[in-house]
Structure 1
Amino acid sequence: MIDAISFGNNKLRYLDQRFLPLQENYVETADYLQAIEAIKTLAVRGAPLIGVAAGYTVVLAVQCFDGEKDSFKAYFDKIIAEVEASRPTAVNLFFATAKMNEVVAKRFAESSMAELKEHILNEAICIHNEEIANCENMARHGVALIQKDLGHILEKRKLNVLTHCNTGTLATGGLGTALGVIKQAYKDGLIEKVYTSESRPLLQGLRLTAWELEKEGIPFFSHADSSSGILMQRGMVDFGIVGADRIAANGDTANKIGTFNHAVLCHEHGLPFYIAAPISTVDITIPDGTYIPIEERNADELRAIHGTKVATDTTPVVNFAFDMTPAKYINGIITDKAALTGDYVKALKEVVPAAAASDKGLSSVC
């Protein structure tokens, strides 16, 4: 499996995704500020992987604390605020920092500083292992849903699927969310080929998903974001599946910019459109998608492609990193707990509180 992120010898090691697929650059650091910068600059990206990276970033920051225990909480609060400011849309980041806050709240009084640091490290490892397990569960539930909804086509032939951005190992540290479902479905003989849209402006679909699919030996075509409509018109796509950076309580979903377009086109052509994301991506404190904070990134990301300018510095740019897909365009949400279809909004409200009430919050393996 691709080694997207790991932690050992008090250092974080990650694959810098900004240089893929042309260069495979691994970075090793003990500097928490460098880890924060990796999240900000998309060297590490994808909602679940951001959560994993956030956990390890807190560990790095805590490891370099050498003050008295009485001053730790103020230092810790400052670190949490810095980590949370790195990416505002991906709820997994806030899930990870909430878990870290929980550890400190529970363990601070009874632990020495050395013990507290160990508890924080163990929680970060737990978050990482949880994401790996979540991916395996999503793949299983997703394959079952595909077989149920598209069985009438599978009786005649294999399926062609459209996906957007990157939702594989590079986004999760495990098998993947939407791409994990695709990988498992291909392994099970359900998928003929994958259409991966380029995902402008940072080309995660063209650079990253294509790279993963090639590594896995899965047949695919990359295509311009704006061409998904003609693919559907010509019967070249049977369904769409993407990931999510945040899901509101009503099922509205924020994902990589361009997702909304694909969802509407699938709806227009009568094709199922699915979201695959762990329960930790659901934010039940947000009633609907209009409340999801949408990150607007540097204009130069649009003015240039991999460092090559394609517009003048004075060209006015709107560069939203995400868009919001209303629940009415989503046929089902595939989570690590279950594949939710039909009145999945009601099911979502039932599954999330049940998960939150478990012994370890949303954790399924710790």
Structure 2
Amino acid sequence: MIDAISFNDSTLRYLDQRYLPLREEYVSTRNYEEAIEAIKTLAVRGAPLIGVAAAYTIILGINSFQGTKEEFPSFFKSLVAEVEASRPTAVNLFFAAARLKKVYAENYETDTIEALFAKMNTAARKIHDDEIANCDAMSRHGVDQIKIDLAHILKTRKLNVLTHCNTGTLACCGTGSALGVIRLAWQEGLIERVITSESRPLLQGLRLTAWELEHDGIPFVSISDSSSAFLMQRGMIDFGIVGADRIAANGDTANKIGTCAHAISAYHHNLPFYIAAPVSTIDITIPDGTHIPIEERNADELRTIFGTQVASPTTPVLNYAFDVTPGKYLRGIITDKEAVVGNYITGLAALMEE
């Protein structure tokens, strides 16, 4: 399996995804500020992977602490705030930070500083292990749901699936969320071909998903983001599945910009469109997608492609990193606990109570 991120001997090692597929460049650092910059610049990306990277970044930060135990609370609060500010939409980042804050709150008064740090280190590694296990569970639930929803097609042929952005090992540590479902479905003989949309402006589908699929020998074809409705019209897509950066209580989902257009097209053509994401991506505290903060990124990400200017430097740009797909356009939300189909308000709330 692709080793997207690891943490050993107080060193964070990650695959810099900005350079794929042209070159594989691994970076090692013990500096938490460098790790924060990697999250900000999308060297490390994908909601679950960002959560893992955030946990390890906090560990790098506390490893650099040289003050007294009495000085640590102020340092820790500032450190976590800096990490949380790196990517505002990916709720996994806040979920990981919350788990480490809980360890701190429960043990600071009674433990030595060394014992506290050891427990936080263990918690960070557990977040990583959990994400790998989550991928396996999501894949199984997703394939089982596909077999139910698309049984009428599977009686005569295999399926063609659309996915957007990158949701594989590069984004999730394990086999992936949406791409993990696709991988298992292909292994079980359900998939004919994967259709991966380019995912402008940073081309995660064209660069990263295509790279992973080629790495695994899974048949695929890449398309422009604007092609999916036409392919659905022609019967060339049977269903779609993507990941998520945040899911509201009613099933409204923030994901890579362009997702909503694919979902609306699938809904119009009566094709299933699924979200695959771990429960840690669900934010039950917000009622709907209008409350999800949407990151607006640097305009030059759109005006340039890998450093090559494709528009005037003075061209006004709106560069939102995510859009919000209303839950009504989704056939189901696949999680590591189960597939939720139908009433998302009831179903997602029940997941969070387990």
TM-score range, shorter chain: over 0.9
Q: Does 1:19 align with 2:23?
A: no
Q: Aligned with 1:323: secondary structure?
A: strand
Deviations 1:137-183 (A, max 9, x none): 00000000000000110010000000000000000111100000000
Deviations 1:339-364 (A, max 9, x none): 1112233211111122xxxxxxxxxx
| Contact 2:15-2:27 at 8 Å conserved across structures | yes
Deviations 1:17-75 (A, max 9, x none): 00000010000000000000000000000000000000000000000101100000000
Equivalence for 2:191: 191
Moved over 2 A (4+): 342-345
Distance 1:105 1:336 in 2: 27
The one-letter code matched in structure 2 to 1:228 is: S
Equivalence for 1:33: 33
Equivalence for 1:150: 150
Equivalence for 1:120: 120
Shift of residue 283 of structure 1?
0.2
Distance 2:270 2:144 in 1: 20
Alignment of 1:260-279 (within 5 A): 260-279=260-279
Shift of residue 114 of structure 1?
1.2
Q: Aligned with 2:346: secondary structure?
A: helix
Give structure 1 stretches of 5+ with no counterpart. 355-366
Equivalence for 1:227: 227
Q: Quote the RMSD (CA, aligned, Å).
A: 0.6
Length-normalised TM-score, structure 2 = 0.99
Q: Aligned with 1:182: secondary structure?
A: helix
Shift of residue 109 of structure 1?
1.4
Equivalence for 2:316: 316
Equivalence for 1:43: 43
Greater Cα offset, 114-123 or 157-166: 114-123
Deviations 1:261-305 (A, max 9, x none): 000000010100000000000000110000000000000000001
The one-letter code matched in structure 2 to 1:10 is: S
Q: Aligned with 2:340: secondary structure?
A: strand
Distance 1:103 1:317 in 2: 42
Alignment of 1:1-366 (within 5 A): 1-354=1-354
Q: Aligned with 1:260: secondary structure?
A: helix
Shift of residue 112 of structure 1?
1.1
| Contact 2:249-2:344 at 8 Å conserved across structures | no
The one-letter code matched in structure 2 to 1:233 is: Q
Length-normalised TM-score, structure 1 = 0.96
Distance 1:81 1:348 in 2: 28
The one-letter code matched in structure 1 to 2:169 is: T
Equivalence for 1:361: none
The one-letter code matched in structure 2 to 1:26 is: Y
Q: How many residues align?
A: 354
The one-letter code matched in structure 1 to 2:325 is: T
